[in-house]
Amino acid sequence: MPEHNSCQSVIQKFIDVNGAENGALLPLLHAIQDTFDYIPKSAVTLISKALSLSEAEVHGVITYYHYFRYEAPGRHIVQICRAESCQACGSDELLAVAQDILGCSSHQKSRSGLITLEPVDCLGLCASSPAIQVDNKLHARVSIETLKGVLVDLEASA
Amino acid sequence: MKAVKIFVPRDSASLALGADEVAKCLLEKGRLRGLSIELIRNGSRGMFWLEPLVEVQTSKGRVAYGPVQVNDIDSLLDAGLLEGGEHKLGLGLTEQIPYLAKQERLTFARMGIIDPLSLSDYEAHSGWKGLRRALTLDGDSIVQEVVDSGLRGRGGAAFPAGIKWRTVKGAQAEQKYIVCNADEGDSGTFSDRMTMEGDPFMLIEGMIIAGIAVGAEKGYVYIRSEYPHAIEVMREAIQICLSQGFLGSSVCGSGKAFHLEIRKAAGAYVCGEETALLESIEGRRGIVRAKPPLPALEGLFGKPTVVNNVITLASVPLILNQGAAFYRDYGVGRSQGTLPFQLAGNVKHGGLVEKAFGITLNELLHDFGAGTRSGRPIKAVQVGGPLGAYVPQSQWNVPLDYESYTAIGAVLGHGGIVIHDETTNMAKLARYAMEFCALESCGKCTPCRIGSTRGVEAIDRITSNKDKQQQVYLLRDLCNTMKDASLCAMGGMTPYPVLSALNHYPEDFGIDV
């Protein structure tokens, strides 16, 4: 498994720099997900050995936090905020439009497999709701037309 | 020709509205016209309906234009942008815009004015004065100053910060910690994010002062993963402070050490609860701990720990610089100082309004917010985040202070104010509150873990007319159990939005008034 070796090297590199002291697990998981866009399943055993934790503990942490994922996402991730402030400004409609255009429900990949749709609770842009994030780019005061344009462009460029 | 200073914010919300594109275009078009421009990427002034807000330094002061889009740049330059010329997007002198002029900006005094990562800007605007004074005092005197200021935890719990510090100071341990809670998950809040992105040295200064006061040499800032820009600015700010001797083994050459580290969260709302946050930094699932022991005595890695919200710590440099009395003189009763209120949701003029405690919702909603963005009447206002109550119009004259809000069964929380217009269905929002609790519950205590799911079911039965009367009774009973028996605010306060929606808007649940 090619991931296995590169995963091992990410872990080793992390420990060389940061050590394996208490509290290393979350930063290490971030380092792995930053590299692969997800946490390869094979990483669990490697991490548990490197940090002297049980595999259950590592698995427990990965599955507890919404941010970490075991499955590779699509090439692009579209996050739509659905918290109260954005709801007050029509985010439910935005999510419905996105699901319709992408042909998938929340936390799934689009029909093309290129886009992962993630509802999110609060991007911190609440004075300019509704907000979405496409990969690393934030958009605020998003209209249905803007969202449609963004999604069509993404599908075309991917 | 001396370059003219032009300010285009780097705040996330400004970026989300096209600030980077505006800045780039401005530089390009300026160059083509042979203009000499010094571009500064400041924080946001907090008037988000005007973002991207472009400011120009003129002899009369800073002149503002907004909201500016790329296709406005040509006409702005034609109108003499660099001299502060007249334009349809012109707003006059920034300081005189009523929204800003009417505020009492203490903690946010520098916000949007300085380059967030310029140490010389920070120094020129009273930066490090609090720390320098703290370095001349002993720990007890610093703690006393914070006690006397009346500063209470701005994360939502409103516990007196000085008392917490005193407990940590008095604890005997080789290692103590300062932990900054920057897991700002409440919908409708963004003051922590603005602080980290727009005035990061202020937070760092506050943490160093806390460390010196209680005898802690290590600090962590736990920042939510949804705030990548804040993380980036804070990382850079820490590096600058290290290189200039504000952080490290001898703070400002005092011989006192303070080291600071950023920890990136991973999207669990409940980690904003202080003990869950500590578990998370320790590398575990963010499960709430039972108290006692208090984190002040057995906190991070079992050591005495100050856990304070961003705004709490960021208020400290000013208190040390200006003195406790200066800060305490703002506010009412036991709610002293200011709170950065955040106007969000369906509001025309959304943004950050720092005012002394005691202002009313009517003033915030109308004088500052200017009503809804949709133009329809306001129906409900949720104060204090997703765990805060919906406040009906009859209570909009209640002063916004901790005690007055407690008296009406509501909370100020972290100062978030989310506005909903008349098209909103309150039963749907009540259901969302329970659903959110079910999604985010850490699972440790039963009222929260099970109660939230049962709550969703009960609301569904009410709105679909199944045993309505009995289900309303059940929902109220369930809410009481959650309030009284949950370990933390997650389960303990979810009933606030649910019951306030049910009590003040029964018609949305299909209940005859």
> To the nearest whole percent, how much of chain B has pLDDT over 90?
99
Q: What is the pTM of this model?
A: 0.97
Chain A residue with CA closest to B278: the answer is A23
pLDDT band at B407 (very low <50, low <70, confident <90, very high): very high
Which residues in chain B are closer than 8 Å to A27, comparing Cβ atoms?
Answer: 263-264
Q: For residue B398, is pLDDT > 90?
A: yes
Q: What is the per-residue pLDDT across B44-96, written as a single tens digit (0 to 9) for each?
A: 999 999 999 999 999 999 999 999 999 999 999 999 999 999 999 999 999 99
Q: Are B273 and B490 in contact (CB under 8 A)?
A: yes
Looking at domain B331-421, which CATH architecture does it have? Answer: Roll (3.10)
Contact B424 A140 (CB under 8 A): no
CA dihedral B182, B184, B189, B193 (to 10 degrees): 40
The DSSP secondary-structure symbol of B117 reads: T
CB contact under 8 A, A121 and B280: no
What's the pLDDT at B10? 98
* Cβ contacts of A70 on chain B, cutoff 8 Å: none
Under DSSP, is residue B47 helix (H, G, I), strand (E, B) or coil?
strand
How distant, in Å, are the alpha carbons of B154, B155, B210, B307, B408 from that of B339? 8, 11, 20, 19, 19
Q: What pLDDT is recorded for position A4?
A: 72
Res B311 pLDDT > 80: yes
Nearest alpha-carbon partner for A141 in A151, A131, A153, A154? A131
Instruction: Give the per-residue pLDDT at A2.
Output: 60
Mean pLDDT score, B123-132: 98
User: What mean pLDDT do residues B417-423 have?
Assistant: 98
Q: Which fold has domain B119-328?
A: Rossmann fold (3.40.50)
Q: How is residue B347 written in tokens?
A: 């509001």
Q: What is the pLDDT of residue A155?
A: 86
The distance of A113 to chain B (nearest Cα, Å) reads: 24
Averaged over A112-125, what is the pLDDT?
Answer: 96
Q: Percent of chain A at pLDDT above 90? A: 88
Tell me how close the Cα of B13 comes to any Cα of chain A, in angstroms: 6
| B401: closest CA of chain A, how far (Å) | 22
Compute the mean pLDDT over every residue in chain B, rounded to the nearest whole number. Answer: 97
User: Taking residues B376-403, what's their average pLDDT?
Assistant: 97
Instruction: Please classify residue B428 by burial: count the beta carbons closer than 10 Å to its beta carbon, then call 0-12 exposed, 13-18 middle and 19+ buried.
Output: middle
Region of residue B345 (phi > 0: left; psi between -120 and 50: alpha; otherwise: beta): left
* pLDDT tier for residue A158 given thresholds of 50, 70 and 90: low
Residue B395 has pLDDT above 80, yes or no: yes
Q: Do B345 and A89 touch (CB under 8 A)?
A: yes
The domain segmentation of chain B, as residue ranges, is 4-101, 119-328, 331-421, 426-509
Has residue A156 got a pLDDT over 90?
no
Interface touch A124/B16, C-beta < 8 Å: no
Interface of A with B in 87-146 (CB under 8 A): 87-89, 120-129, 131, 136, 138-141
Task: Quickly state the pLDDT bin for B170 (edges 50, 70, 90).
Answer: very high
pLDDT, one tens digit per residue, over B445-472 is 999 999 999 999 999 999 999 999 999 9
- For residue B428, how many C-alpha atoms fall within 13 Å in the half-sphere facing its CB? 11
Tell which A residues from 48 to 67 touch B, by Cβ distance under 8 Å. 51, 57, 60-61, 64-67
Residue A52, Cβ neighbours under 10 Å: how many? 7
Is the predicted pLDDT of residue A1 greater than 60, yes or no? no
**How close B337 gets to chain A, by Cα (Å)?**
23
Q: Which of B187, B263, B266 sits opposite A126 (nearest CB)?
A: B187
CA distance B146 to chain A (A): 29
- Alpha helices, DSSP H only, in B282-363? 310-322, 324-328, 361-362
How far apart are alpha carbons A65 and A54 in whole angstroms? 18
Query: Tokens in use for A105?
Result: 């429900």
Residue-wise pLDDT tens digits, A39-57: 999 999 999 999 999 999 9
Q: Each residue of B257-274: pLDDT tens digit?
A: 999 999 999 999 999 999
The answer regarding whether domain B426-509 maps to CATH 1.20.1440.230 reads yes
Residues of B in contact with A29 (CB under 8 A): 266
Query: Which CATH fold topology does B4-101 show?
Result: Glutaredoxin (3.40.30)
Q: Mind listing the pLDDT tens digit for each residue in A132-145?
A: 999 999 999 999 99
**What are residue B450's phi and psi, to 5 degrees?**
-90, -40
Two domains, one topology: B4-101 and B119-328: no
